[in-house]
C-alpha cells in the first residue's frame, strides 16, 4: 500500500470499483485533499455538462496530514461540479471521517454514475460493498445514522449522509458527517441524491500512531502557538465561532432583515455567551486541542429536551439576525432541523430572509406562501418554510433553487433583493464594512463566501505586519482599497494549502493567524518525510487556484461573476458605526487579477499556463 493511501474509483452505474496507489509525484503536485480534488475535476469533468449528469464526479479526499498525529488534522474535502452555481462545488468538513479514511488506508473516494436504486457504500478493511438503501430513503440524517448503526452493529464507524433535501434535489443540500458536521454551501448533498447514494459508511479500528521526538517537538510548538493567542484560544474553546456575534453587531456589520439593517436589538441573546447556557458537553474533532464544538440541550417549553449541536457564527447570522430572529432556542432548533433535513444553514437562512423581505414589500402574498405569514423573527413561519423547502412543496419548491433562480421565477422586481455571488448566497456579514472581505466574497471561486479565502489579515494584522508583508498599511484600513488584491491573493492560496493538508483553519488561521506556511512545512517534513519548503507549498497553492479559475471558465464562468450585488456597490450604509460606506470593488478586482498574473478579464495568461503546466 502507498504510504499516502489509495484511491477508490467507484462507478455507481455499473458497480465497477477500481483502485490505485496515490503516488509521491501526485502528492508533490497537489498535496492531497482539496488540491487533489481540484486536479481530479480539472482532468475529468468535460465542459458544459449538467451538474446532475451521471458523469459529474464527486470526489472525497482527506488531506495529506488528515488522520495523522498532526494537531487539528481532521478535515476532508469534497468537490464536484456544483448543482447550485454550475461552477466548482467545494465543501470542507471535520469530525472523524478523515480519521476513518486514514485508518483504512484510503486517500480519495471518486464516485461517478448513478445507481439504479438507492444504495449506500460500505467501506471496511475487507473491501467495498454497494448495499441496498431503499429502506433508508426518506429518512432524515439522524435517523439514517441511527439505522445504519443498528444494521452494522459496530462502534468503529463514521458516515457521510444526505437527507430528504438531498434526495429531493434542493440545490443547497449538504452532506452531513454526524449531527452537526456539515459539508455545505454548494449543493453536494443534492448530487449524492441524484446519484441515488444515501450514505458512505466507513468502518475501521482506530489506527494507533506514535510520535518520534522530532514530531513531538514540532507538534508541541504548533499547539504552543495556539495557546500563545490566549484570548482567541480561550474564546474559541469556550464559545466556538459563535462568540463573534456581539463584535460584528458592535461594528455595524451584522446583516439584519436581509441587509436592510446592520445591527439588531437583543443581539446578546444569540451570541455564544448566551448560547453557552445550553451546552451539555464539549465536542472535538480528531486530535483537536480547541474543542470548539458543543452538544446542547434546550430547556424551554416548545423545544424542551431537544438535543443537537451549537450553531456556528455564519449560521447564527443567516438564520438569526438576517431573518430578524433573536430567540436563542428557536435559532438552535432551526439550525439543527436544517442539519437533520440536510440543508445548508447559510443558504437556508438567506432564502428565508429573501422571502421575508418580498413578503414585507408585497411581492409575495399569503396566496404565494400557502397562508404562511412571513413576518421577521417568526420562528414557526421559518420552520414551516424549512420543511416546505426540504420537500419541494409550495413556495419551498421555488426557494429550493436558491435566491438567484427563485428571484427569476418570482419576478416582479424580486431580483433586487436576491443577494448572492455566482449563484451562492452570501454569509450574513455585511461586506460594506471591510473592503478586503468584500473582495474575498466577490472573487471566491465557489461563490459568496469567506472561508475559502479567509482574509483575516485585514482585521488581525498590525499596521507594521501589513506593511512588511504587503508593502502597505492600507491592508488593515477597512475603508482602503489598495493592497487588498495582494492580500486576498495570498489568503486564497494559503487557504488552499491548509485545505489540501487537511488541517482546520480555526487554529491555523483564526487563532494563530500565521500565513507564512513555515509551521505547516515542518509538520509535513516530520510526519511524511517530504521536504517541501514554505515557498514550494505556496507555489502548489498557486497552481491549485489557477486550476480552479480555469475550471470555472470552462464551465461558463464570466468576468462579471467576480462582483457583488448592487446593494453593496451602490447603496451606502445608512446609519451606525460605519455609516456612509459602500464597496469600491473594481480597482480591487483588477489588483487581484494583476497579483495572480491574470489578464484584465480574470483569465490566467499564457505565461501562467506554461509556468504551472496547465496548457490545454
Q: What are the structural domain ranges in the chain?
A: 6-203, 258-425, 434-501+533-611
Q: What is the pLDDT of residues 456-488, one digit of tens each?
A: 999 999 999 999 999 999 999 999 999 999 999
DSSP state letters, 312-370: PHHHHHHHTGGGT---HHHHHHHHHHHHHHTB-HHHHHHHHHHHHHHHHTTSS-HHHHT
Residues 79 and 542: their CA atoms lie apart, in Å, by 18
C-alpha cell at 473: 498599511
Contacts of 181 (CB under 8 A, 6+ apart): 93, 94, 95, 97, 285, 293
CATH classification for the domain delimited by 6-203, as one of 2.30.110.10, 3.60.9.10, 3.40.640.10, 3.40.50.300: 3.60.9.10
| Average pLDDT score over the chain | 96
Q: Does domain 434-501+533-611 have CATH number 1.10.599.10?
A: yes
Residues 364 and 407: their CA atoms lie apart, in Å, by 11
* Closest among 225, 216, 223 to 526, alpha carbons compared: 216
Are 391 and 340 in contact by the 8 Å Cβ rule? The answer is no
Spell out the SS3 assignment of 500-540: HHCCCHHHHHHHHCCCCCHHHHHHHHHHHCCCCCHHHHHHH
Residues 517 and 493: their CA atoms lie apart, in Å, by 11
The percentage of the chain sitting over the pLDDT mark of 70, rounded to a whole number, equals 100
Checking if the pLDDT of 1 tops 50, the result is no
pLDDT recorded at residue 421: 98
pLDDT recorded at residue 616: 64
The upper half-sphere exposure of residue 605, i.e. CA atoms within 13 Å in the direction of its Cβ, equals 10
Neighbours of 303 (CB within 10 A): 20
pLDDT recorded at residue 376: 98
Helices marked H in 78-187: 97-103, 141-152, 164-168
* Closest among 507, 514, 463 to 491, alpha carbons compared: 514
Q: What is the pLDDT of residues 123-159, one digit of tens each?
A: 999 999 999 999 999 999 999 999 999 999 988 999 9
Checking if the pLDDT of 190 tops 80, the result is yes
Sign of the torsion angle spanned by Cα atoms 238, 522, 183, 157: negative
Are 258 and 417 in contact by the 8 Å Cβ rule? The answer is yes
Q: What average pLDDT does this structure show over 37-65?
A: 97
Q: What average pLDDT does this structure show over 235-246?
A: 95
Which of 471-503 are b and which e, b meaning 16 or more Cβ less than 10 Å from the residue's Cβ? Answer: ebbbbbbbebbbbbbbbbbbbbbbbbbbbbbbb
Residues 422 and 354: their CA atoms lie apart, in Å, by 17
Q: What is the pLDDT of residues 164-185, one digit of tens each?
A: 999 999 999 999 999 999 999 9
Equal fold, 6-203 vs 434-501+533-611: no
Q: What is the pLDDT of residues 400-431, one digit of tens each?
A: 999 999 999 999 999 999 999 999 999 889 99
Q: What is the pLDDT of residues 602-612, one digit of tens each?
A: 999 999 999 99
Q: What is the pLDDT of residues 308-353, one digit of tens each?
A: 999 999 999 999 999 999 999 999 999 999 999 999 999 999 999 9
pLDDT recorded at residue 115: 98
pLDDT recorded at residue 542: 98
The percentage of the chain sitting over the pLDDT mark of 90, rounded to a whole number, equals 97
Angle (nearest 5°) at CA 418 between 351 and 549: 100
For β-strands 157-161 and 293-297, DSSP reports them as unpaired
CATH classification for the domain delimited by 258-425, as one of 1.10.1750.10, 1.10.569.10, 2.30.29.30, 3.40.50.720: 1.10.569.10
Residues 308 and 178: their CA atoms lie apart, in Å, by 10
Instruction: Provide φ and ψ at 106, rounded to 5°.
Output: -105, 130
Checking if the pLDDT of 2 tops 70, the result is no
Under the banding of pLDDT at 50, 70 and 90, the label for residue 615 is confident
Are 515 and 467 in contact by the 8 Å Cβ rule? The answer is no
> What is the helix, strand, coil percentage profile of the chain, to 5?
45, 15, 40
Q: What is the pLDDT of residues 381-400, one digit of tens each?
A: 999 999 999 999 999 999 99
Distances (CA, A) of 447 to 186, 398, 552: 8, 20, 11
pLDDT recorded at residue 148: 97
What single DSSP character describes residue 46? P
Are 353 and 323 in contact by the 8 Å Cβ rule? The answer is yes
DSSP E strand stretches across 404-503: 420-421, 424-425
Residues 173 and 48: their CA atoms lie apart, in Å, by 22
Q: What is the pLDDT of residues 542-567, one digit of tens each?
A: 999 999 999 999 999 998 999 999 99
* β partners of residue 21: 6
For β-strands 119-124 and 197-203, DSSP reports them as parallel
Checking if the pLDDT of 572 tops 60, the result is yes
Amino acid at each position: 500500500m502507498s504510504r499516502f493511501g489509495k484511491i477508490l474509483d467507484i462507478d455507481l452505474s455499473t458497480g465497477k470499483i477500481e483502485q490505485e496507489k496515490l503516488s509521491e509525484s501526485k502528492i508533490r503536485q497537489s498535496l492531497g485533499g482539496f488540491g487533489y480534488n481540484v486536479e481530479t475535476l480539472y482532468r475529468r469533468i468535460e465542459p458544459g455538462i449538467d451538474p446532475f449528469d451521471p458523469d459529474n464526479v464527486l470526489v472525497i479526499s482527506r488531506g495529506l496530514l488528515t488522520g495523522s498525529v498532526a494537531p487539528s488534522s481532521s478535515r476532508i474535502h469534497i468537490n464536484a461540479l456544483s448543482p447550485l452555481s454550475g461552477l466548482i462545488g467545494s465543501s470542507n468538513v471535520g469530525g472523524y471521517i478523515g480519521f476513518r479514511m486514514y485508518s483504512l488506508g484510503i486517500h480519495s473516494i471518486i464516485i461517478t454514475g448513478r445507481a439504479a436504486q438507492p444504495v449506500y457504500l460500505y467501506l471496511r478493511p475487507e473491501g467495498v460493498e454497494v448495499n441496498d438503501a431503499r429502506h433508508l430513503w426518506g429518512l432524515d440524517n439522524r435517523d439514517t445514522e441511527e439505522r445504519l448503526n443498528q444494521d452494522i452493529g459496530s462502534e468503529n464507524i463514521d458516515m457521510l449522509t444526505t437527507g430528504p433535501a438531498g434526495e429531493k434535489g434542493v440545490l443547497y443540500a449538504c452532506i452531513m458527517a454526524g449531527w452537526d458536521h456539515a459539508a455545505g454551501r454548494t449543493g453536494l448533498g443534492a448530487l449524492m441524491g441524484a446519484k441515488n447514494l444515501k450514505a458512505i459508511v466507513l468502518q475501521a479500528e482506530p489506527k494507533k500512531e506514535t510520535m518520534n521526538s522530532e514530531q513531538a517537538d514540532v507538534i508541541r510548538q504548533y499547539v504552543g502557538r495556539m495557546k500563545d493567542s490566549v484570548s482567541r484560544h480561550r474564546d474559541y474553546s469556550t464559545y466556538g465561532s459563535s462568540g463573534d456575534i456581539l463584535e460584528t453587531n458592535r461594528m455595524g456589520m451584522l446583516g439584519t432583515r436581509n441587509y436592510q439593517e446592520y445591527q439588531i436589538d437583543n443581539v446578546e441573546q444569540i451570541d455564544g455567551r448566551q448560547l453557552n447556557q445550553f451546552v451539555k458537553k464539549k465536542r472535538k474533532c480528531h486530535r483537536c486541542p480547541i474543542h470548539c464544538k458543543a452538544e446542547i440541550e434546550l430547556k424551554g417549553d416548545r423545544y424542551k429536551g431537544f438535543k443537537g449541536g451549537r450553531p456556528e457564527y455564519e449560521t447564527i447570522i443567516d438564520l438569526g439576525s438576517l431573518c430578524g430572529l433573536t430567540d436563542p432556542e428557536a435559532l438552535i432548533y432551526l439550525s439543527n432541523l436544517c442539519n437533520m433535513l440536510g440543508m445548508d444553514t447559510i443558504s437556508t437562512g438567506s432564502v428565508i430572509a429573501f422571502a421575508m423581505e418580498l413578503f414585507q414589500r408585497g411581492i409575495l402574498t399569503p396566496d404565494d406562501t400557502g397562508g404562511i405569514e412571513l413576518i421577521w423573527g417568526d420562528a414557526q413561519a421559518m420552520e414551516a418554510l424549512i420543511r416546505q423547502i426540504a420537500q419541494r412543496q409550495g413556495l419551498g419548491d421555488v426557494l429550493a433553487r436558491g435566491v438567484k433562480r427563485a428571484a427569476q421565477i418570482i419576478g416582479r422586481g424580486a431580483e433586487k433583493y436576491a443577494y448572492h455571488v455566482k449563484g451562492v448566497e452570501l454569509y450574513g456579514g455585511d461586506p460594506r464594512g471591510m473592503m478586503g472581505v468584500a473582495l474575498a466574497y466577490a472573487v471566491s471561486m465557489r461563490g459568496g463566501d469567506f472561508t475559502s479565502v479567509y482574509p483575516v489579515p485585514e482585521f488581525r494584522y498590525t499596521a507594521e505586519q501589513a506593511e512588511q508583508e504587503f508593502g502597505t498599511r492600507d491592508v488593515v484600513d477597512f475603508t482602503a482599497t489598495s493592497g487588498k488584491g495582494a492580500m486576498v491573493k495570498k489568503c486564497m492560496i494559503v487557504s488552499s494549502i491548509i485545505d489540501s493538508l487537511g488541517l482546520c483553519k480555526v487554529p491555523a488561521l483564526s487563532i494563530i493567524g500565521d500565513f507564512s506556511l513555515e509551521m505547516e512545512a515542518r509538520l509535513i517534513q516530520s510526519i511524511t518525510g517530504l521536504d517541501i519548503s514554505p515557498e514550494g507549498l505556496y507555489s502548489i497553492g498557486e497552481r491549485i487556484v489557477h486550476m480552479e479559475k480555469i475550471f470555472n471558465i470552462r464551465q461558463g464562468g464570466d468576468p462579471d461573476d467576480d462582483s457583488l450585488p448592487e446593494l453593496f456597490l451602490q447603496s451606502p450604509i445608512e446609519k451606525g458605526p460605519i455609516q456612509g460606506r459602500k464597496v469600491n470593488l473594481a480597482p480591487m478586482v483588477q489588483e487581484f487579477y494583476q497579483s495572480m498574473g491574470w489578464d484584465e478579464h480574470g483569465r490566467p495568461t499564457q505565461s501562467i499556463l506554461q509556468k504551472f503546466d496547465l496548457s490545454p
